[in-house]
Every structure is written in structure tokens, then in C-alpha cells.
Amino acid sequence: MCEEIAAFKPDVVVTEKGLSDLAAHFLTKAGISAIRRLRKTDNNRIARACGATIVHRTEEIRESDIGTGAGLFEVVKIGDEFFTFVVDCKAPKACTILLRGASKDLLNEVERNLVDAMGVARNICMDPRLVPGGGACEMSISRSLAEAASKLEGVETWPYKAVGAAMEVIPRTLAQNCGANVIRTLTKLRAKHAEEPGCSYGINGDTGEITDMRVLGIWEPLAVKTQTIKTAVESAQMLLRIDDIVSGITRKQKGGAGPRGPEVEDADQADTERQLPE
């Protein structure tokens, strides 16, 4: 197997499985470095970066399977661990981001923020439409629902009012977090959206003032905003449905345990009681 690999004169061999000491000896003797027990996802990334094809048997190797896109292979010790780098690729279609921090807690926080940022970037690439942040979008929706509710009569207006009030939770929370006066801030923001329908005014999270989000450059992906509203409405529907089911079961149980009608006495027992002397 080592001879079949060395026949193509590679510099580095990467495998997901184990590598015996004897095989490592022969590969080293042929001037080939070997990395073993690599995760499948990492192996796929290395193959994309180098332009290689993953082969499962050594007898199936072809010249076109050898990746020649990598420029430098090196092993560097960082802290107490060794890290392998494959850099200077011609057309890298994969990359690795190395995070460093003073503690594991800090590293976990940095990793979480990085994953969130990459998720936002992916959403923007999939759907580039944006909406202003800072509670501007929610307040605009709330105003539109209030206008729609004013055109209806009876019970039909309450769902519009309830959803509109729920939308104001976002700017209210932003005002609370930055220490502003919640009632005054929301009143000003509501009046601003009433004067200029469709405006992009929201709450500045640093100062608590009402500011145009276009000027601050605060935007949110439309795909995330749409999914958030859909999930909130579906959750509310599910809770209401469960509440109706529980209420129906409770009423049914109370009805079954209610007072019964007049009971009819046994005729023989009644005659016996009448014949007994007083």
C-alpha cells in the first residue's frame, strides 16, 4: 500500500483512519508526511482546498486524484498543542478560522459570536433584502396593524390590536436595556411613525434616543425577521389551541361530577319500611 501511494510522489497523505508505525516508517522513508485520524469534515475541507479527490483504496489512485493546489504544509506548536496548516492554496474553496482567548469561557463566547455572524452573512447571501433595526420595523408594523384595526368593527379588531401591542415589545425592551424612560421614548417613537409612515426611526441602543437607523447603519436581514414573526404567531396559536383543549376537558369533568337527578327507591324496601311500627 505504501508503494502504491509513493508511486505518485505525494508530499502529504491524509487519512481518516489509523496509520501503523510500519506504514509511517515506509512513508517517511519515501519523504512523505502523513496525518491520521482526521475528522471527515476536516478531510473534505482539505480536499477542497488542495483540489484533491478522496480515494478509499490505494489501488484506485489516479494521477488526477492528487491535489496540487496547496502551497505550504507546516506543523506549528501553539500553546501546548500542535496545529497543522495547509496554506498558500491556488484556489482555496475552504478555510479554517483559528480563535484564541485567555480562557475557555472567553473562547466559547467568541465562537458563539462568530457562528452568529457567519449565520447572518449566510442569510444575506441567500436573501439580500434588509430592514431597519432598532425596533423601527416592529413599530412600523404596529402602526399599520392599528390602522387596519380602525377599519374593522367588533371582535375582529382585537387580533390586530393584540399583535400590534406585541410588536412594541422589541422597542420597549431596547429602551429598558439602555436605561431610557420607556413611556416617553415609546410615545415619541409612536408619534414619529404616525407623522412619517414607513420611516426608519428606531431606538439608539447606546443613548436611548430616537434616531434614523439608516444614518446609524443598523440593518437586520428580512429572512430572519420574517421567520421570527412566523414562529411567534405559530407559538401563540399552539398555546391557544392547547388552552382550548384543556378548558374543554375541565368543563367535561365538572359536568360529569355534577348533581344527579332524583333517585327512585326500591319498591320492596319501601313497603317494608311502611309496615314497621312507629
Q: How far apart are CA 260 and CA 243, in angstroms?
A: 29
Shared domain check, 150 and 70: no
Shared domain check, 103 and 86: no
Domain assignment present for residue 273? The answer is no
Domain assignment present for residue 188? The answer is yes
Q: How many domains does the chain have?
A: 3
Comparing C-alpha atoms, which of 230, 223, 233, 201 is closest to residue 133?
201
Own/partner pairs, 179-187, CB within 8 angstroms, 24+ separation: 179/208, 180/208, 180/209, 185/210
Domain assignment present for residue 238? The answer is no
Q: What is the pLDDT of residue 264?
A: 47
Q: How far apart are CA 243 and CA 249, in angstroms?
A: 10
Shared domain check, 153 and 213: yes
Shared domain check, 80 and 6: yes
Shared domain check, 109 and 150: no
Position of cell 425596533? 135
Domain assignment present for residue 115? The answer is yes
Domain assignment present for residue 24? The answer is yes
Shared domain check, 139 and 63: no
Domain assignment present for residue 272? The answer is no
Shared domain check, 205 and 118: no
Shared domain check, 112 and 59: no
**First CA to last CA across the chain, in angstroms?**
114
CATH number, residue 53: 3.50.7.10
- The parent domain of residue 189 ranges over 130-225
CATH number, residue 141: 1.10.560.10
Shared domain check, 143 and 102: no
Domain assignment present for residue 199? The answer is yes
pLDDT tens for the 278 residues of the chain, in order? 999 999 999 999 999 999 999 999 999 999 999 999 999 988 998 998 888 999 988 889 999 899 888 889 999 988 788 888 988 888 887 788 888 888 889 999 999 999 999 988 888 898 899 999 999 999 999 999 999 998 888 888 998 999 999 999 999 999 999 888 889 999 999 999 988 888 889 999 888 889 999 999 999 899 889 999 999 999 988 988 887 787 777 776 766 545 454 454 555 554 545 554 55
Comparing C-alpha atoms, which of 220, 44, 29 is closest to residue 123?
220
What is the pTM for the complete model shown? 0.57
CA dihedral 172, 178, 180, 185 (to 10 degrees): -40
Q: How far apart are CA 108 and CA 160, in angstroms?
A: 41
Shared domain check, 146 and 119: no
Which run of H or E residues covers position 153? none
Cβ 27 vs Cβ 5: under 8 Å? yes
Domain assignment present for residue 101? The answer is yes
Shared domain check, 216 and 146: yes
Shared domain check, 203 and 168: yes
